Structure 1
Amino acid sequence: MPSDSDSRPAAHGPETSLLHEERLRLAVEATGLGTWDLDPLTGALHWDERCKALFGVPPEASLDYDTFLSLVHPEDREHVHQVVQRALDPTGSGSYRLDYRAVSPRDGTVRWLSTSGRAFFDSNGRAVRFLGTVLDITERVLERQAAEREKHRVTTLLENISEAFEAFDRDWRFIYVNRETERLVGMPREQLLGRSHWEVYPDTVGTPLEHLFRRAATERIPLSFENHYAPWDRWFEVHVYPTEEGVAVLFQDVTGRKRRDEERERLLREQTHLREQAEQALRERQRAVEVLEHGEALVVVDKDFRIVLVNEHQERLSQTRREDTLGRSIWEVFPAIAHPDSSYRRAFRQVLEQHVPVQFEEYYPPLGLWVGMSVHPTSEGGLAVFFRDITEHKRAEQFRERLMGIVSHDLRGPLHGISLTTEQLLRRDDVAGPVLAGVQRIARSTERMARMITDLLDFTRARLGGGIPLQLRHCNLVELVRATLEEHEVTHPGRFVLSHAPGSYSGEWDPDRLAQVVSNLVGNALQHGARDTPVAVSLEHEDATLVLAVRNQGPPIPEALLPHVFDPFRRANHHSRQGLGLGLYIAQQLILAHGGSITVSSREDSGTTFTVRLPRHTPSP
């Protein structure tokens, strides 16, 4: 029994003590506690039934301290004994609290027990009583151990995965990082734990990544996405999970995969493009085959002039079968063109030597046909020769030119006689009144007819290939233009504005032909321009080139007609009887003969302008 110096409260009578003990017993039973009481002086040990059951000993067993130690797990026994001895040491606090394992002597069952107690000492400092409680915590310990094993397993897994793993509290402070995170960030975990995510990754602030992180934390939903982190120039696959502590983030470097995907997409686009090109090429080839087969007559020869391809049209035109021509020399199949000096051989040689297409027209006697030839080099070193029957066109052209030549020459003789007669009549003093007016009308009509015949002759010369002859001499373009305008001033006073920049306007030209060009352009402007607006004529010089521009206001030339303005016999007003429609054509031919160019522009706001660019020195023909 403890001495008077123990710390238990004094009794106040048998009834009170019994009531107190009964309440204590009920409380102990309710909590599942077992009680024990050790006499340190004798080693006698008292366990209640619950305590004996926890240690696996029968209710009737007698116990002492040594028996108790024998029931403790061998691995915990020495530690338990040391803790008991410290509790019984009068220099200590006398309190006792310890968790250890007990092994049942019946079946070897191991239980985890949690004990607590207190030692009581007499006045001499001897421990005279040691009592306390014991509680079965096996389930709790096993759960904790299982949790620790699971934590260890998860930690081991996280430390060995290839993905980076980070855990944050609700203030976005790091509470865990794995080895891969350390490697990517370039910092040991000791420098990361406790720091803010936004401090370690400042470039993510204000980005879509921050928005997604905060959304996962606020809405408590997992999110997955890909993100490019600019400071590292790397792509990551990111998974964000809400946790009890805050947020966990798993991310993996997918830059290689991303670049492979991009490369695969690029290759796919290229393949698609190439396939589309191939399909387009196939379609074009099919169309080309159709065109070649059913279009103009075609003969293809190799570098030795052996025929390798003939289309259907060529069979009809040449009246030969392709099976009779393939593999044979073109000179053998078409002997009429085989002469060494024939235009065909010259054209073929030019194409082979210069690798440029050549076009020409030639009469083919065996068939009595005029053919238009277009000869092209092939990639194999041969020739592709296109034939077009132009016989009817040639006949019509020759007939028209022959007719115009005859008409022009046959009319000029009688017209010259009429002109001389009218000149003589106009000099006579007795020709007056209505007779004089009639003679003047005859003179004007004769002049107009003479101009038309001159135009027809110029047209004939230009179309027959000889070209319009030029008589070159030194002259001044400003003086030439001014003189031409003065002639038109007689019938159209006040209609012309001439301007020119300072400088020299001298050159080697045919002044009569240039005057004809200016007259044709001015006459065209007067005829088609607005009657109440002037015709502006301007001159400029650009190094070795002079520029003449004739501009009139009025309705613009229709856009569809612009490409044909210089075509012969083309008139803007088909009902006009002012001429044959050769003026602009002849003007163009004369400027081309001088080595220059002539263009036209026509707009509603700026009117119609004919621009002539003329070199100072006409090149040799």
Structure 2
Amino acid sequence: MDDDGPFVETSITARLRSCKGDVMDRWARRVLEDPRAPRAQRPAGPLLAREVPALFDDLVEVLSASRRAEQRGGEDAELRCAHARVEEHARRCAAQGRCIAAALRELSHLRAALIEVCVEQGISLGVSEAQVIHAAVDASMWTSALEIEAATRAALEDSGALLRLATRAGGVGVWDYDTVTGKLRWDERSREVAGLDPASEVRYDVFLAAIHPDDRERVQEAVRRSQTLESGGEYSIEYRLVGLCNGVERWVAVQGRTFFDAEGRSVRMIGTVIDVTERKRAEAARREELVRRGRFMAAFSHYLRTPLTSITLASRMLTHHGNLTPRQARNAERIAASARRMARTIDDLLDLTRSRCGANGIPIAPRPEDLHALCKSAIDELRAAHPGVPIRLDLEGSGAGLWDAERVAQMVTNLVQNAVDHADPGSAVGVTVRPREGDLLIEVHNDGPSIAPELMETLFDPFHEAPAGGRTSTGRGLGLGLFIAQQIAKAHRGEIAVESTAARGTTFTARLPRTGEAAGS
């Protein structure tokens, strides 16, 4: 340090160093009291809390180097080095990904706090010192801006490239709609899906013209709804487009989001469009196939019912009026039992068809009924059909509610029949009906080998026949019982769950709401 170094150190720079704590406190207070600062930031403190103390020291060094350079007659290497240290701190701020607006505000507060303390402490800053402070802080702010801008631009370019790659690979189109100016932008894929050539101008009226006339009003309503705050800005819809230049009809799935200003007005919509024509065609083909199957099953069941009715009536007449020997009576009863089993099989096949072809599954007609009475009637029939299997019925609370009596009885019969088929020989099947909040639970329990975990996922699938203890169901034979029981529960807005362990046996629990509101109504 040259001869005038001590004089400089004991003047402005020494006094500024002694005021460092005051400057830091004032700076932090200004930052946190700034109304533009995010509320979430205030408990955590300033963003640049670690960098600014060292930056202050470098500013004081710049002042000292500037004074010595001035006394020596001009700028020198020492001053340039001091300035470089200030800018290096700014680069570290930028490298940490700081918000550019917040970083610039905090640096400007540092300059203001430093000048305020100088005024209050009577530290007289000459024109050169003031210029040094402003120049150093401005340089650091400018460096921060450049570093953050470059990092942001690079990140945006990378994100844009990845987005373009992903949308191109997935056949996704991207669109952007300025709801204030009405300007609409479509990328190449969006234009292709709409049958619009790359050179044509895209306007909102052009977009509307591309929509199939039968879908246009529905799409306009969805757009209007998405531009209200109540909708949350969500825009999701499928509709048909008719190519503006080629007349090709396509189905598209469109997703988007609306952005709002501070006053809740929509200002912009951004979203994607995907061509789902092939999926829609496959769905239509499947619906047509299901309709054909349904018609075939209806005709087939009608064809079977006519001779089956004759068989049932004949066996009944033989039983009551045929003066049969005991052996003949047993054979007549076997004929009647087989006819009943065939009738139930036909009913199950029709229910399977209804569940797959109907929009809401198996149709039901809920009415005020007593679930206890329905279950008791179904259990009595099962006891008569299985005299060797004890079936216990426990009823708790009230069974009042809205149910489709015939369907609920069918569901209970299927669940209990399944339990009878898979229970350990000589063991009892337990049925419990109890309330839970606004629902009624029907629990059907049997002791026996547990259901294998790998079978649980397909247990309610149609035509599923789960073996248990080396035996299979002797009931319906087609494996539709559990499937139809589940569909009946769903039609009542309920569900069926199952628990099965070797120690506690197997329990099917059907939950039915008392309201009886049909699913899809």
TM-score (norm 2): 0.53
SS at match of 1:490: helix
Could you tell me the percent identity over the aligned residues?
26
Structure 1 contact 299–307 (Cα < 8 Å) conserved? no
Q: Extract unaligned runs of 5+ from structure 2.
A: 1-91, 100-151, 260-267
Structure 2 contact 460–482 (Cα < 8 Å) conserved? yes
2:269 counterpart (381, 388, 413)? 381
Q: Deviations over 1:570-597 (max 9, x none)?
A: 5546x98945444334333322332333
- The aligned runs of 1:111-510 (5 Å cut-off) are 291-295=166-170, 297-298=172-173, 300-302=175-177, 304=179, 308=185, 318=193, 320=195, 323=198, 327-329=202-204, 332=207, 335-339=210-214, 342-353=217-228, 354-355=231-232, 371=251, 373=253, 375-377=255-257, 379=259, 380-388=268-276, 389-390=278-279, 391-428=281-318, 429=322, 440-462=333-355, 463-465=357-359, 467-493=361-387, 494-501=389-396, 503-510=397-404
Distance 1:409 1:598 in 2: 32
Distance 1:427 1:565 in 2: 41
Does 2:490 correspond to 1:592?
A: yes
SS at match of 2:364: coil
Distance 1:530 1:325 in 2: 76
Distance 1:398 1:451 in 2: 27
Distance 1:446 1:362 in 2: 50
Offset of 1:477 from its aligned partner? Answer: 1.6
Larger of the two Rg values belongs to structure: 1
Structure with the largest fraction of strand: 1
Structure 1 contact 426–436 (Cα < 8 Å) conserved? no
Offset of 1:567 from its aligned partner? Answer: 4.3
Offset of 1:599 from its aligned partner? Answer: 2.7
Superposition RMSD on alpha carbons, in Å?
4.7
Letter in 1 for 2:399: Y
Structure 1 contact 299–309 (Cα < 8 Å) conserved? yes
SS at match of 1:323: coil
Offset of 1:399 from its aligned partner? Answer: 0.6
Offset of 1:515 from its aligned partner? Answer: 0.8
- Residues 1:532 and 1:438: Cα distance change in structure 2 (over 3 Å): closer
Distance 1:558 1:309 in 2: 54
Partner residue, 2:86: none
- Residues 1:425 and 1:447: Cα distance change in structure 2 (over 3 Å): closer
SS at match of 1:595: coil
Letter in 1 for 2:516: T
2:406 counterpart (507, 512, 526)? 512
- Residues 1:341 and 1:333: Cα distance change in structure 2 (over 3 Å): closer
Structure with the largest fraction of helix: 2
- Residues 1:284 and 1:514: Cα distance change in structure 2 (over 3 Å): farther
Structure 1 contact 553–608 (Cα < 8 Å) conserved? yes
Offset of 1:551 from its aligned partner? Answer: 2.8
Distance 2:236 2:337 in 1: 45
Offset of 1:487 from its aligned partner? Answer: 1.3
Partner residue, 1:96: none
Structure 1 contact 331–337 (Cα < 8 Å) conserved? no
Does 2:410 correspond to 1:522?
A: no
Structure 1 contact 549–609 (Cα < 8 Å) conserved? yes
- Residues 1:281 and 1:308: Cα distance change in structure 2 (over 3 Å): closer
Distance 1:526 1:283 in 2: 65
1:610 counterpart (489, 500, 508)? 508
Structure 2 contact 188–198 (Cα < 8 Å) conserved? no
SS at match of 1:456: helix
Offset of 1:298 from its aligned partner? Answer: 4.6
Partner residue, 1:535: 429
SS at match of 1:617: coil
Higher relative contact order (CA 8 A, sep 6+): 2
- Residues 1:333 and 1:450: Cα distance change in structure 2 (over 3 Å): same
Distance 2:331 2:248 in 1: 57
